Amino acid sequence: MLEELQGRWEGDGRTSEDSPFRGTLDLEPLAGGRGLAVAFKAVAKDGSVLCRHRGILAGDRLAFLDDAIGEMKILDRREDHVYGSGDPTAEESYRLEVSFHVAGPGEMDLTITSGLPGEPFTPRLHAHLVRGTPVE
């Protein structure tokens, strides 16, 4: 399952403030094929870096460094390629979900959804990515 995601993915996306960006997602295999290193970067049209996210995807878990709060979160697999932490309906706590939706051959939609305590659970960014050059 993880093997189908391996490689570099590139494409355009938008933030929750409707700002356009160019996204790059690298999914590199870990030693022994036990998971993937995750690195995502969103760059605005003016060249400024909007965000960077890093993590380790292994088995049913994603260890994800969340730029928004500056903390590492452990997300459990909710369904194929969707990982989350916290109950999305529980507005009294922080919630986070990362989705790697395979949209078709060589296509992926990446969505990061979150909600701070007292705020709604809404998509923070979404990008439509296509398979790019292999990661060495």
Give the pLDDT confidence of 74-107 residue by residue, as tens digits: 999 998 889 999 999 999 999 999 999 988 888 9
Overall average pLDDT of the 27-49 stretch: 92
Domains detected in the chain: 2-131 (2.40.128.20)
pLDDT at res. 82? 94
- pTM beyond 0.85: yes
Amino acid at 30: L
Phi-psi label, residue 28: left if phi above 0, alpha if psi -120 to 50, beta otherwise:
beta
Are the C-beta atoms of residues 93 and 86 closer than 8 Å to each other? yes
What CA–CA distances, in Å, run from 23 to 30, 41, 78, 88, 111? 22, 6, 24, 25, 11
Q: Residue 3's pLDDT band (boundaries 50, 70, 90)?
A: low
Q: How many other C-beta atoms are found inside a 10 Å radius of the C-beta of residue 101?
A: 14
Pairwise CA distance, residues 44 & 19, whole Å:
8
Q: Which two tokens stand for residue 4?
A: 């189908």
The values of phi and psi at residue 20, to 5°, are -75, 150
Lowest mean per-residue pLDDT among 12-21, 30-39, 75-84: 30-39
Long-range contacts of 86-91 (CB under 8 A, 24+ apart): 88/113, 88/115, 88/121, 89/121, 91/115, 91/117, 91/118, 91/119, 91/120, 91/121
What is residue 68's predicted lDDT score, i.e. its pLDDT?
Answer: 72
